[in-house]
Amino acid sequence: MKSRRKFIKQLGLSVVSIPLASSVLKTQSCESPPVVNKFEKPNMPIILSTWSFGKIANQAGWDVLVNGGNALDAVESTAKFVEADLSQTSVGLGGWPDRDGFVTLDACIMDEKGNCGSVMFLENIMHPISVARLVMEKTPHIQLVGEGAQMFALENGFVLHDAPTEGSKKAWEKWKLENNYEPKISPENHDTIGVIALDKNGNLSGACTTSGLAFKMHGRVGDSPIIGAGLFVDNEVGAATATGTGEEVIRICGTHLVVELMRQGYTPVNACKEAVERIVKRSPRYTKEMIIGFLALNKKGEYGAYSTRKGFEYGVYDKVGSVLKTAEFMETY
C-alpha cells in the first residue's frame, strides 16, 4: 500500500484532473422534448434498465413482476443477472480493475418505503446488490464500505471469488502500457446497470450496481452506490437512475434532482434533460467527451431518458414487450 501511494504521488495524478470544456452548447432536440409515452391508465408492471445488457437482464425482473412479485425483488433479480455475467467488463467481478489491478464494486438499492442500502469498494463478492439489500434489511445503517462490507457479506453467507478475470487482467496490463497509469473517463470505459421498476401494486423500487470507472484510482467511488446520485426512489412521485461519469452525477445529486423535478410536474424525459443540462452548463469539470445519462419512471409508468451524448440505450419491459430504446441527447460539439 505504501509503495503504491508513493508511486501515485510521484506521478501527481488525479482522476478529476480534467480540462474545462470550451465548446459552445447546442441542444440536439427542441427546447421541450416530446413525452416518450403517456398512458390513460397506469402502465404497470414495468421495468427499465440502462444499456443493452439491461434489456437482456430485464427478463429476470419481468418474470418476478408478471408473477405478482414486488418491484424490489424484480430490480434485484435484474441487477444480479448482469453481476453474474463475467463477460461484462463494467459490472460485477468481470469488471475491469482499478489502476492498481483490484476489482472494487459499488451498489445500492432502494424500496418504496424509503428504505435503502449500499456497499462501496467491495472486493471479491459476486453480488454486491444483494449485500446492499442486506445492509438495508439487517442493519441500522445505509452504507458499508470496503473490508467492513466484505466482512458483513461473509457473515451472511456470501463467499469469496477471484477477480479480476483473465480477460480483465489482460486489459489492465495493456492499458498500463498505453495510458501511463492515468485513468481517462470516456463512454467506452464505464457503464453501470441502473434498474427501476413499478410493480402491479403501484410500488416503485430501484437498484444500481457497477465496477465503476475502469482503471480508476484505488479507493475511488462513483455515483452508483450513492442514494440520490446513482439512484433515487420516491414512491409518491417516481424513480430515477444514472449512468456515466459518476463525479458529475454526484455534483448535482442527479437522481434526487430528477425525481424532485418530476414532483414539480416535469415529464420523465424533461426531468432527465434538465439534470443533464445542469451538468453541461454549470459543472466546472464537465467535458464534451463524457457520457452522462439519466433514466426515469413515474408513478403512472411513464418513462424517459436523456444523455449528454449520442449512444445511451436503455431496455424497457412492460405488457407490450421488451424493447431497447435510444435516449435523446444533447450535442456539445
Q: Which grid coordinates belong to 297?
A: 419512471
Q: Are strands 193-198 and 46-50 parallel, antiparallel or unpaired?
A: antiparallel
Check: CB of residue 255 under 8 Å from CB of residue 294.
yes
Verify binding: residue 318, ligand GLY, rule CB under 6 A: no
**Shortest Å, Cβ 220 to ligand GLY:** 8
Q: Which is nearer to ligand GLY, 246 or 315 (CB)?
A: 246
Output the CA–CA distances (angstroms, integers) from residue 72 to 133, 149, 311, 326, in the order listed: 9, 21, 28, 25
Catalytic residue among 78, 89, 165, 192: 192
Q: How many CB atoms lie within 10 A of CB 202?
A: 15
* Angle, helix 268-282 to helix 254-263, in steps of 10 degrees: 130
Q: For the chain, what is the radius of gyration of the CA atoms?
A: 19
**Shortest Å, Cβ 223 to ligand GLY:** 5
For ligand GLY, what does the binding mask look like between residues 246 and 285, x meaning CB under 6 A?
Answer: x---------------------------------------
For ligand GLY, what does the binding mask look like between residues 148 and 187, x meaning CB under 6 A?
Answer: ----------------------------------------
Check: CB of residue 139 under 8 Å from CB of residue 165.
no
Site for ligand GLY in 193-222 (CB under 6 A): 210, 212-213, 222
Q: Which grid coordinates belong to 266?
A: 416535469
CA distance 90 to 69: 28
Q: Which is nearer to ligand GLY, 192 or 203 (CB)?
A: 192
Verify binding: residue 243, ligand GLY, rule CB under 6 A: yes
**Shortest Å, Cβ 160 to ligand GLY:** 23
**Shortest Å, Cβ 295 to ligand GLY:** 12
Is 78 one of the annotated active-site residues of the chain?
no
Active site residues: 192
